[in-house]
Structure 1
Amino acid sequence: MPQLKNKAGDFDPKSVACWDKGERVPFMFLCLVFDMISNETGRIVITDICVQYAEDCDALAEACGRTEVQVKKQYKELGDLGLVAKASRSSQSMMRKPAALTVTKVFNTFRLIAKESGKDSQEKKKNHIKGLLVATTDCEPQYLIRLLQTKLRIGLAEQTLLAALGQAAVYTEEHSTPPPNIQSPLEEAVKIVKQVYSLLPVYDKIVPALLSSGVWNLLKTCNFIPGVPIGPMLAKPTKGVSEIVNKFQDMEFTCEYKYDGERAQIHYMENGSVEIYSRNAERNTGKFPDVVIAVSRLKKSSVRSFVLDCELVAYDREKQKILPFQILSTRARKNVAVSDIKVDVCIFAFDILYLNGQPLLQEQLKIRREHLYDSFEEERGFFQFATAIISNDLEEIQKFLNAAVDSSSEGLIIKTLTRDATYEPAKRSNNWLKLKKDYMDSIGDSLDLVPIAAFHGRGKRTGVYGAFLLACYDSNNEEFQSICKIGTGFSEAVLEERSTSLRSKVIPKPKPYYRYGDSMNPDVWFEPTEGQNPRIIPFPHISLLNPFSWSSIFSLPFSTVAPPEIPLCISDGTIVVMEWVWEVKAADLTISPVHRAAIGIVAPDKGISLRFPRLVRVREDKNPEQSSSSELVAEMYNAQKHNHQDNQEDVEDD
């Protein structure tokens, strides 16, 4: 392959691949690749860098002799703990240089950090991190700390990494001959790797399978299995019953209640163990011991293993009615004892993805639903099938929508039954539509956005923030793009609460991965995170580029020195991260010269903004990178039924 050029100068990964076959890959090599990617903006070139890397691969203050005050001061100046680590490490002299780090050494140490528990575990974690830091050189401390933070911020999106894996598999000498019917091997290989990752998002299984059997056999060697969560299939918004009938004309479809609870994927293994995962693949088993008992009790005796897609909803069993989501959110997050449960939940099951050793993802929904109904016994208030009808009559569907809303559900999910009705993991599919009562007079859906800045309040709002700058997330460029300024619709209590929560997230300057108009001048900037409660991430399903955890290496309270998004590893092999997003509704979307959401998709040099945005709630089940994407914003804009007058006119900040 040709040598690559970038802004940092010429660099050929093979020129520093100085280890022999069978030896461990130096960590420095990985860091040099990170460094080159961070200085490159072209997606194709970044992919090529990753391809070449894949081919060739065939505790801070104590560790660096710095004081707390010095580290705090430098973090305020640089705004990047990785750069602080690099500066601290380069200024430290050592009597004896430790052995050079390898990728395997770093990776295995991360595993040790995550598994430490019990007495003195925090001290042990600190020592593991110090042991790595004292062995780092050059740019290694910078990327080591960023890896521990799970925030590389070098412009390397996961989809790019998956594409690189597919291409690298084609370029390797062994297993590289594609089947005769494939015309574009590189494109097909990328497609296969991405498809497999959606079914089995574990690099520890995908990479060995690529090396042993090649990319052309990957769909046979890697498949969906219980115990490993997949991304849930998602629905696209629609604004009315007539739109549904038009989109699904000449197709059989079903309407189901859209419940207002927590999306859950329940895995029941052959050995009788149960795991419950959230929509973000977070392990929630400890939060719902009652759910574990219910599914084990109500499955039929013929069922040996299964994976359910369902909604866990707060439920009043005495009055036999659904309770609001806010009630469900009061449940404890982990280590819940059944005897201590104050808020009961009902499992509303609507899909089954795996049954008795067989994946069902490629079956049509009608077949999957038959398997679901045949595999469980219903018990009101404990386990119920989602209420559903099959109809294409506008009046009947409208009545069904009204009934769903009256039952305290959000609305309807409409799904194809017998054609184009397979389960598409981690995709927002045209074959699932969602309809809420309050969609009909608005933009068609709410958006999940991240507060990245704020403006000081004036008059009655003196002492709190008067307005906030919100952003969506562009995964291709790994950046947060401003979409609106929100300041109306807050009660005094909510405004005080949001202001208090965000004050601890203030940073001295905007992050380099924030994109906003030059005329936007907020008074304060925030880390891309909000909230006081943590989210829980399961250790086994975190990739190398988004790995694991770190504990405070300063022996200080977690939030006093480290950036707010730094996770804290806890004893059961999970990670706690303080990250929330805001759910926002608006009257409309419009082209804006001020905001940068979806810039270049709808207009070449302008973004999209929201008109009359209002806060609905703070979402605890999403992290900033899972906020609404720029692609979704563009889709919603294009889906609007009417053309705005201001499509041709520049609008000022809303």
Structure 2
Amino acid sequence: MSVDMDVLEFDPSKINWDGLKTPYRFLIDTFVAIEKTTSRLKIIDCLTNMLRTITYHDPESVLPAVWLSSNAIAPSYEGIELGIGSQILTKAITSVSGASSKTLKQYYIKYGDWGDVAYAAKVSVRTLMEPKPLTVGKVYDTFISISKLRGLGVVDQKTNLVKKLLISCKGEEIRYLTRTLVQNLRIGAVKTTCLIALAHAFCLTRPTNMVIGEPLDDKNRLFVEDVSKESKDSLNTKLKAAEKLLKECYAQFPNYNGIVKCLLEHPIEKLLDFCHLTVGVPLRPMLGEITRDLGQVFKNFEGILFNCEYKYDGQRAQIHMDTNEKVTIFSRNLENMTDKFPDVVKLIPQICLNNVNSFILDCEIVAINPEGIIQNFQTLTNRSRKNVELSSITIPIHIFAFDLMYLNGESLLKKSLRERRELLRARFAEIPNRFTYVNHIETLDPEEIHLFFKESIEFGCEGIMIKILDDPPNNLENKIRMNLLTSYEPDKRIKSWLKVKKDYVDGIGDSLDVVPIAAWYGNGRKAGWWSPILLAIYNPDAETFEGVCKCMSGFSDEFYKELKSRYSQENDNISKQKKWYFDVDDSLRPDAWFEPIEVWEIKGSDITISPVYKAAIGKVDPNKGLSLRAPRFIRVREDKNIVDATTSKQLAELFYKQIKERKVEEFIEESENV
């Protein structure tokens, strides 16, 4: 039995570990099989079969296997990190291999990957005694131990634990263990892929010791008792339903610890009964769909009452308070930023009316001056980020609340926006210049919305949000109706929330959120700096970053200096080797490839069809991609994760919107330009 088999032919019982714990080698064999394919379906099959096997033989190792496959060891909001850099890796690898630090540096220049460096240095080393084989559980437990180390001598302590793991590694285990240490696994098993594999695994295999209560009827049952007796259509329906269930659960409760525990103890159909919206666990926020044509909005949704809100230039935040009045604040990317806002923590009990004992609300935190005038986002970023003391705060903030997802032990996700908003306004007290509701209007009048949009810009906002208050009538076509639901839909971007920003309306929608992925060495005055920078958009279907343009405009000298320092060999985030998930034409040969770690906002003059750049390739032209002409850097989007960058689909939509008023030929780029 091999994990790269079709899941319908794979039988986990045929793999035998003689009752022992899951060998780390089994996980690594899966990673090797995955790296040999570019097919996302094949990757999912490999992960599914791996998880099914562990579920069948060693259920306790399922959770460690999931974490080790997902390039993490804990939920992001818990802030648990390995903290392994080049210093620790160099000390550990030189110690176990005998290779000098100079040799390792040469290997890194050659390969650009710490896993390949460790493999090249140690693979030929022989030990006097055969080390005890590693298990998945042992590796994961050691990683957790590493993450907990603090204080004096922490570098040596971490180095010793890494050394012990490397000594026990054989063959490919060395490569992938080292990649996991630096969180660069390179197997394409990101969030969506892991969730789908987990759903498929527990749809097809249960732990042998699971106690099943009252059986579900066939209509509601997702578990497949016997694949051979299931029709292909029925099987696909169940697998898709399981995927949908896992994604819905993870959007509300993004914590594999709880999800895997539930799957091991209860049938998959019961997942949402145990893992659901919970105070203290950030849900993935609902997102607004970008619109660049207010006229089209009015045409499509004629007769539907809109709620229009100011879109403030601040930081989106989820504020949680439990029954003990413990306040936790999470960012848009689910990072815990409670320590950054002690003034918010102090304020929250003051806004709760007597009948509020727990809640989760969605809001925008905005910087203000002493007179209460809102400031731009850049001002907010000047606040200290960690362990902030109340006495040290010089930049006050204002909370603008716009949604309520949980109240007094009850999830409000399925309630309409009107119901959620009424509860928000009834249960929380406004405090001028500290906590208020977003400025809003309810209207059907296009002229009134245009005027409101203009006022928002004059007030210093980014634009407005247009939201539908009430669920649409049942006589609408189902697909249209599902896009207009007014429930709070975590981790989804649907048409019932529309984002209208000044940038989108002013021109061709030339504001893009992109990821810097590579650079060339600068010339002349810019010698010693990175210039130009290769930028990319995100393709969520292929889970790749597609090159879209080079940028060398809009940067200050100070930014150039910071950029050269930020992307450097000292920080282990540049290499000579292109990442497998960078979709960039071979004709583009930058001097260094970057780790994708941040999002930039840029503007340009036109979106053009390009024979060189692969952004949105196949969506406008079967063989060419899209590029942005005359790109100019605007700012770093600290509030966004790299997977929140502009997508291939969004870029193609921008292009088609642009050519409505001009000829297609105007946007064909004859040759690559800077």
What band does the TM-score fall into relative to the shorter chain?
0.7 to 0.9
Number of the residue aligned with 1:468: 533
Counterpart of 1:404 (choices 440, 456, 459) is: 456
Verify: 1:253 aligned to 2:292, yes or no: no
Q: 1:607 aligns with which of 606, 614, 625?
A: 625
Greater relative contact order, per chain length (Cα 8 Å cut-off, separation 6+):
1
Q: Distance in 1 between matches of 2:170 and 2:607?
A: 49
User: Do structure 1's residue 589 and structure 2's residue 607 form an aligned pair?
Assistant: yes
- Offset at residue 313 of structure 1 (A): 0.6
Give the equivalent residue in structure 2 for 1:619: 637
2:40 alignment counterpart? 43
Partner of 1:423: 488
Under a length normalisation based on structure 1, what TM-score does the superposition of the two structures give? 0.85
Find the partner of 1:354 among 397, 406, 413: 406
Residue 329 of structure 1 and its aligned partner are, at CA, apart by 0.6
C-alpha root-mean-square deviation of aligned residues, in Å?
2.7
Partner of 1:26: 23
Alpha-carbon contact 2:351-2:429 (below 8 Å) kept: yes
Which moves more between the two structures, 56-65 or 459-468? 459-468
2:393 corresponds to which letter in structure 1? I
Matches of 1:171 and 1:12, distance apart in 2: 10
1:219 is aligned to 2:272: yes
Describe the SS at the equivalent of 1:440. helix
Q: Percent identity?
A: 39
The residue that corresponds to 2:670 in the other structure is 651
Q: Taking structure 1 as reference, are residues 647 and 140 closer, same or farther at Cα in structure 2, changes over 3 Å only?
A: farther
Q: Choose from 359, 362, 366 the match for 2:418.
A: 366
1:452-477 deviation per Cα after TM superposition (whole angstroms, max 9, x unaligned): 23344455555545422211223443
**Is 1:115 the counterpart of 2:148 in the alignment?**
yes
Q: Which residue is equivalent to 1:145?
A: 178
Aligned pairs, how many?
Answer: 598
* Letter matched to residue 520 of structure 1: L
Q: Which residue of 2 aligns with 1:52?
A: 49
Number of the residue aligned with 1:570: none
The gaps in structure 1 that reach 5 residues or longer are: 530-578
Stretch deviating more after TM superposition (397-406 or 175-184): 175-184
TM-score, normalised via structure 2 length: 0.83
Q: Is the 1:270–1:304 contact (alpha carbons within 8 Å) kept by the matching residues of 2?
A: yes
Note if 1:271 corresponds to 2:324: yes
How many Å separate the matches in 2 of 1:85 and 1:195?
39
Residue in structure 1 matching 2:378, options 290, 314, 326: 326
Please name the residue that 1:382 is paired with. Answer: 434
SS of 2:506's equivalent in the other structure is: coil
The 1:235–1:74 alpha-carbon spacing in structure 2 relative to 1, beyond 3 Å, is same
User: What pairs up with 1:52-451 in 2 under 5 angstroms?
Assistant: 52-58=49-55, 59-60=88-89, 61-62=91-92, 63-65=95-97, 66-172=99-205, 179-180=218-219, 183=234, 184-316=237-369, 318-419=370-471, 420-444=485-509, 446-451=511-516
Report if aligned partners of 1:179, 1:216 keep a CA contact under 8 Å in 2.
Answer: no
C-alpha contact 1:453 1:470 (8 A) present in aligned 2: yes
Q: Displacement of 1:634 after TM fit?
A: 3.3
- 1:480 counterpart SS class: strand
One-letter code of the match for 1:612? A
Residues 155-199 of structure 1 show CA distances to partners (whole Å, capped at 9, x for unaligned) of 223212211111222212677977426752111111111111111
1:452 to 504, 512, 517: 517
Q: Residue 649 of structure 2 is aligned with which of 628, 631, 637?
A: 631
Pair 1:339–1:48, CA change in 2 (3 A): same
In 1, are the aligned partners of 2:3 and 2:49 still within 8 Å (CA)?
no
**1:646 aligned counterpart, secondary structure:** helix
- Cα deviations across residues 474-515 of structure 1 (Å, max 9, x unaligned)? 344343210012234445555555456546554324333322
CA change 1:611–1:649 in 2 (3 A) is closer
Letter in 2 for 1:161: C
C-alpha displacement at 1:35, in angstroms? 1.0
Aligned with 1:207: secondary structure?
helix
Tell me which amino acid in the other structure corresponds to 1:507. S
In 1, distance between residues paired with 2:149 and 2:434? 36
The alpha-carbon distance between structure 1 residues 46 and 526, as it changes in their structure 2 partners (threshold 3 A), is closer
Distance change >3 Å, CA 134–CA 475, structure 1 → 2: farther
Q: Is the 8 A contact 2:3 2:50 kept in 1?
A: no
CA displacement 1:215-271 (0-9 Å, x = unmatched): 222222221101111211111221243233223322222011101111111111122
Residue 639 of structure 1: CA displacement?
Answer: 4.6
In 1: Cα distance, 2:375 partner to 2:261 partner: 46
In the alignment, what sits opposite 1:516? Answer: 584
Kindly indicate whether the alpha-carbon contact (under 8 Å) linking 1:321 and 1:407 is maintained by their aligned counterparts in 2. no
* Residues 1:495 and 1:31: Cα distance change in structure 2 (over 3 Å): same
3-state SS in 1 of match to 2:188: coil
CA deviation after TM superposition for structure 1 residue 526, in Å: 2.8
